[in-house]
Structure formats: C-alpha cells, structure tokens
Amino acid sequence: MKTILKILFIAVFTIKPLWALDEFQCQCKAKAPGFEATNKTTGGIDKICSYSCKCLAWDTITNPKTKVSVANHVVPNILLDIINAPTTAYSRESWDMGSHVCHGQYAYKPNWGDENWKIVVKFDTFTLSSNGEVSYPEDHSREFAMGMSQSGFKYTLKALEIAASIKDQLKKY
C-alpha cells in the first residue's frame, strides 16, 4: 500500500498538465508612476513600472486538417502582479516627454489653469492581449482637468514586456 501511495504522490506532483495557458486577455493598471533605473546589462537607463492585472486565460487546440483553433481549458479571474518591469511605454504629454511614464498613465490638473507642478498622475485600466496589444474601449475618454475630457488620445500600442511577464506567470497555472 505504501508503494502505491508513493507512486501516486510522485505522479501527482511531477507530471505536468496536458494543457498550458497560452492565450490571455487581461485588464491591467499601473500601480504607481514609473521611475528610472540603470540597466545592469546594457548600462543604459530603463523606465520601470509595476502593474496589477486581472486575466482570463486559456489554451487552444488546433485541428490539423482544418487549421481551426478553439479554446480548450479556460481559467477566469487570475490576479497577477508585474513588479518593477522595464517598460516600452512612451509619453506624448508635454509635461513628461516620455521619461517617467507607464502604460495607462496620464496627467490630471485639478484646474486647467494650474501650474504644471500641481499635476496629479492618474492611471487608466487598459486591455492587454497575449500578443502584447494594448487597447482601450473605443468610446473611452479621460478627464485631464476638472470638467475637461479628451477621447481619441494616443497611447503606446504594444506592451510586450507585460505580456512576457504574464506568460511566464501563467506557467504556474
């Protein structure tokens, strides 16, 4: 009996599942403004950001004859954190000029006529797909000063660094 339990124990904890979550769609939001850090490999300066994401992940099965892929195993509501990751986000805000920005980060002035030092940093939630594409709802607008909103704003279209971190973390599921 002990031998059977031992074999069962080893099988349960060493055999990998037959599926791997290889596709996802996440709702992500930066946790704080970005900061600069020296890249130890290149010696250059990286912008660093942290994010919280709520993801729906699934694996796909492809029919070899028809080449049609379908979702096989779906896992909803996976909460993931990406901590201190170099970012590819670029700011188009005149006050920032790209130096300390994270995906979804923007400037908010309590009053439009206020000086730039009164700017408050805010964060929008964005959708991230498994291929690294960033998107916002088509009708999305952000309030950049009290009572003043903008839609159709520009944003960085890819966040491959976040997608790579999520893919790596999904290997645990």
**DSSP string spanning 79-120?**
EEEEEEEE-------TTTTTSS--TTEEEEBSSTTS-GGG-E
pLDDT > 90: what percent of the chain? 27
In the chain, domain spans: 18-170
Q: In terms of Cα–Cα distance, which of 155, 150, 145, 138 is closest to 107?
A: 145
Residue-level pLDDT at 81: 96
What does the pLDDT look like over 104-159, one tens digit per residue? 888 788 887 888 778 888 888 999 999 999 988 776 777 777 877 777 667 788 89
Q: Would the pLDDT of 28 be above 90?
A: yes
Q: Report whether 25 contacts 61 (CB < 8 A).
A: no
> What's the pLDDT band for 22 if we cut at 50, 70, 90?
confident
* Alpha-carbon gap, residue 109 to 48, rounded angstroms: 24
pLDDT at 79: 96
How, if at all, do strands 23-30 and 45-62 pair?
A: antiparallel
Segment 52-103, tens digit of pLDDT: 999 999 988 888 888 888 878 888 999 999 999 888 777 655 544 445 578 8
If we measure between CA atoms, which residue out of 77, 79, 84 comes closest to residue 31? 84
Please give the Cα distance from 33 to 50 (Å, whole number). Answer: 8
Q: How far apart are CA 55 and CA 170, in angstroms?
A: 10
